[in-house]
Amino acid sequence: MALLEVRDLEVEFAMRGARLKALRGVSFDLDAGDRLGIVGESGAGKSMAAYAILNLISEPGRISAGSIAFDGRVLNTLPAEEMRKVRGDRIAMIFQDPMMTLNPVLTVGAQMVECLKTHRTISDGEARALSVQKLREVAIPSPDARFDSYPHELSGGLRQRVVIAIALLLDPAVIIADEPTTALDVTIQAEIMGLMLDLCETRGVSLILITHDIAVVSETTQRMLVMYAGRVVEQGETRGIIARPSHPYTRGLLQALPQRNKPGAELNQIPGSMPTLAELPPGCAFHPRCAYADDTCSGGVPALRTLGKRLVACHHAERLK
């Protein structure tokens, strides 16, 4: 049995009388020490999946179907108090923008210590020592002084290191990182990503990496999910998918990468943009932007089916092979 098993997860939002499905039938497994990538444009439902795992979907949204099993327990039916004990302790999360993630009116130290004290019985002195040690592990210079700093006194890179330190504080089994480097300067993105991957690797922490950047996923994960408009469109081993994508959308994402294009040539962007949940086209949600689309595509939603060693949701997956 895998460490984390997500089955047929659906998230629904009640908006002005209508019910919009932000997530439809997402399933995946995550083994201990594994790294899973979730890729897609913004609005595809990637972050929704992360929040759903932690049962943090807020009104008017809710998990409407499916199950999330972690370490043999079903999380989505756990009493609120039990679920709270899992968050931060067994499953931690790293958010996108470190400028917004840390509370501006509390010191770095206070935001670390409160986490320790919530989940463990620990003295103030021990909590401080442990927090400073974690700050040191994420390579923050003079961690003792930084412990008493306020977030606005730190640079973006340092803040994201603090957030990583908080995520690692209680040695969780899983870390969910939602676009952990997107908001940072390009120059330090690689550094922070490397740090995070190193720390997860040495501690045997499983990682779910959520990003719009398929290149990052291809370099760092063993398995991956490609999402579009709330659905998984392709899923399997990263290496295989990157080498030979079976879904036109995955292929589009790969072709849009600058390193896949010849210098001076125009980038191969996917035309158009992702539809909002309220105005999904009939059939395959991707068909208006797809070069392979025909009448079958607008006629019915393609099921996620097995194709070789992977899953793909496309009527014409064979034509891409």
> How far is residue 92's CA from residue 90's CA, in Å, rounded to a whole number?
6
Find, among 71, 72, 64, 58, the residue nearest to 25 by Cα.
Answer: 64
**What is the smallest separation between the CB atom of 176 and other proteins, expressed in angstroms?**
9
Number of residues forming the site for other proteins (CB under 8 A): 31
**Which of 100, 129, 190, 303 is close enough to bind other proteins by CB under 8 A?**
100
* Cβ-based nearer residue to other proteins, 70 or 95: 95
Is 287 in contact with 275 (CB distance < 8 Å)? no
> How far is residue 19's CA from residue 199's CA, in Å, rounded to a whole number?
41
Q: How many residues does the chain have?
A: 321
* Cβ-based nearer residue to other proteins, 104 or 264: 104
Task: Tell whether residue 89 is a contact of other proteins (CB under 8 A).
Answer: yes
* Cβ-based nearer residue to other proteins, 55 or 189: 55
Site string (141-180) toward other proteins, x via CB under 8 A = ---------x-xx---------x--x--------------
* Cβ-based nearer residue to other proteins, 109 or 252: 109
**What is the smallest separation between the CB atom of 186 and other proteins, expressed in angstroms?**
21
> How far is residue 291's CA from residue 45's CA, in Å, rounded to a whole number?
23
**Which of 52, 92, 174, 274 is close enough to bind other proteins by CB under 8 A?**
92
Q: Which two tokens stand for residue 321?
A: 């092979």
**Which of 106, 188, 215, 280 is close enough to bind other proteins by CB under 8 A?**
106
* Cβ-based nearer residue to other proteins, 16 or 309: 16
Task: Tell whether residue 108 is a contact of other proteins (CB under 8 A).
Answer: no
The one-character DSSP state at 87 is B
Task: Tell whether residue 102 is a contact of other proteins (CB under 8 A).
Answer: yes
CB 296: neighbour CB atoms within 10 A? 13
The helix (run of H) or strand (run of E) holding residue 177 is: strand 174-178
Question: Which residues from 12-31 bind other proteins, rule CB under 8 A?
Answer: 16
* Cβ-based nearer residue to other proteins, 44 or 93: 93
* Cβ-based nearer residue to other proteins, 36 or 91: 91
CA distances 253 to 38, 91, 182, 293, Å, are 13, 29, 17, 17
**Which of 42, 77, 118, 296 is close enough to bind other proteins by CB under 8 A?**
118
Task: Tell whether residue 101 is a contact of other proteins (CB under 8 A).
Answer: yes
Is 244 in contact with 321 (CB distance < 8 Å)? yes
> How far is residue 239's CA from residue 254's CA, in Å, rounded to a whole number?
13
Is 191 in contact with 157 (CB distance < 8 Å)? yes
* Cβ-based nearer residue to other proteins, 93 or 290: 93
Strands across the sheet containing 73-74: 18-30, 4-15, 61-70, 73-74
Alpha helices in 175-237 (DSSP H): 186-203, 214-220
Helix (H, G, I), strand (E, B) or coil at 281: coil
Task: Tell whether residue 97 is a contact of other proteins (CB under 8 A).
Answer: yes
Site string (43-72) toward other proteins, x via CB under 8 A = -----------x-x----------------
Contacts with other proteins, residue ranges (CB under 8 A): 16, 54, 56, 84-89, 92-93, 95-97, 100-107, 114-115, 118-119, 150, 152-153, 163, 166
